[in-house]
Amino acid sequence: MITVEVALDARSYPIHIGAGLLGHAPLLVPALSEPRVAVVTDTNVAPLYLERVAGALRKAGIAVTEIVIPAGESSKDWPTLNRVIECLLASGCDRATTIVALGGGVVGDLAGFAAATYQRGVPLVQMPTTLLAQVDSAVGGKTAINHPLGKNMIGAFYQPRLVVTDTAALDTLPDRELRAGLAEVIKHGLLGDAAFLAWLEENIDKLKGREPLALAHAIRRCCEMKAAIVREDERESGIRAHLNLGHTFGHAIETGLGYGNWLHGEAVAAGMVMAAELSHRLGHLAARDVDRVRALLGRAGLPVVGPALGPGAYLELMRRDKKAVAGDIRFVLLKHLGEAFVGAAADEAVRGALNACTRDL
């Protein structure tokens, strides 16, 4: 087991990374305020891992409430959140009950937001089971649900007390979900670690093939990078915004197509190509580096062109993005591969990048 610390003074917490951790109840006990938890999971993960987690906790003398939501991005909404809250209330869960988020990014975001708001905040443990959640969404305290007009528009910063990352859970992850997670892995190399990016170019086939040592290294490096960024800028007033590389375009794709038609990682992959192309058109990134971004994402089996929603629709959706300021779109751009910055761009340049990176699919 490897442990990465997210250092936030009194709210610091460990990320435990290793194979077979889901059934290891002693890891969770130090994070509990009382011997009671509510495990929130979904219909995909429950048949695979719910009994392993809940059974181990019960054997350790911990009372467990099980809450299973429908799988998929469409569950990140008010009705599903309300259903979780109703289950917590019906089960008599109090403000010392720990919510355990067992699943991918949807479960982590939704259960995290429930923890942030139920009785003004209850303890939270993240147990991510997808690559995307293990390297990104389970770490750093972002929680949210979607609104029909925009992705992750309703949420809170709310740090967990613990993250337990079982790399063996990736054995049951569908290939498409694994590829979607690789988008977030590649993002970390593009925005802040050129050496890691080079390692990814050498090892992307091992990652696609689920080679355990390669996956463990990638997960650890991404968690180290994100932990360092969150330590410096917990609430995204500065450098943490770099983690949104590809997301402004990607969220527009998800909202424009309807949540769930493209996986989050797929939309972010196409969005990173758009961001790289825009960076080149603004005079920052060399054309050969745009090709390098496109090639690596393509080798990972991810989309490198976006849907032709039309530049006008993209711009309208991006102006609604929560990162926009006074209607001005803020893009995460690349000076070089491994160095990101936040900047603005004229609509003409954005339209050019979108025309170069979209087509009817």
DSSP class of 281? H
Q: For each of the domains in the chain, give its residue range(s) and CATH number, in order of start.
A: 2-172 (3.40.50.1970), 175-359 (1.20.1090.10)
Exactly one of 16, 36, 76, 142 is catalytic; which is it?
A: 142
| Contact predicate 129/166, CB 8 Å | yes
Is position 280 annotated as part of the catalytic site? Answer: no
Q: Which residues of the chain have pLDDT under 70?
A: none
Report which secondary-structure segment, H or E, holds 128. Answer: strand 124-128
Exactly one of 226, 280, 281, 294 is catalytic; which is it?
A: 226
Exactly one of 16, 36, 187, 264 is catalytic; which is it?
A: 264
Is position 319 annotated as part of the catalytic site? Answer: no
Is position 184 annotated as part of the catalytic site? Answer: yes
Map 62-115 to HEC letters. Answer: CEEEEEEECCCHHHCCHHHHHHHHHHHHHCCCCCCCEEEEEECHHHHHHHHHHH
Is position 226 annotated as part of the catalytic site? Answer: yes
Is position 210 annotated as part of the catalytic site? Answer: no
Give me the pLDDT at residue 321, please: 86
DSSP class of 47? I
DSSP class of 162? E
Exactly one of 73, 184, 254, 277 is catalytic; which is it?
A: 184
Is position 240 annotated as part of the catalytic site? Answer: yes
| Contact predicate 135/185, CB 8 Å | yes
Give me the pLDDT at residue 331, please: 96
Model's pTM, two decimal places? 0.95
User: 20-64: per-residue pLDDT in tens?
Assistant: 999 999 999 999 999 999 999 999 999 999 999 999 999 999 999
Q: Is 190 helix (H, G, I), strand (E, B) or coil?
A: helix
Exactly one of 44, 146, 152, 244 is catalytic; which is it?
A: 244
Specify burial of residue 18 (Cβ count, 10 A radius: 0-12, 13-18, 19+). middle
Is position 44 annotated as part of the catalytic site? Answer: no
Is position 264 annotated as part of the catalytic site? Answer: yes
Render the burial of 283-314: b for 16+ CB within 10 Å, e for the rest.
ebbeeebbebbbebbeebbbbbbbbebebeeb
| Contact predicate 122/107, CB 8 Å | no
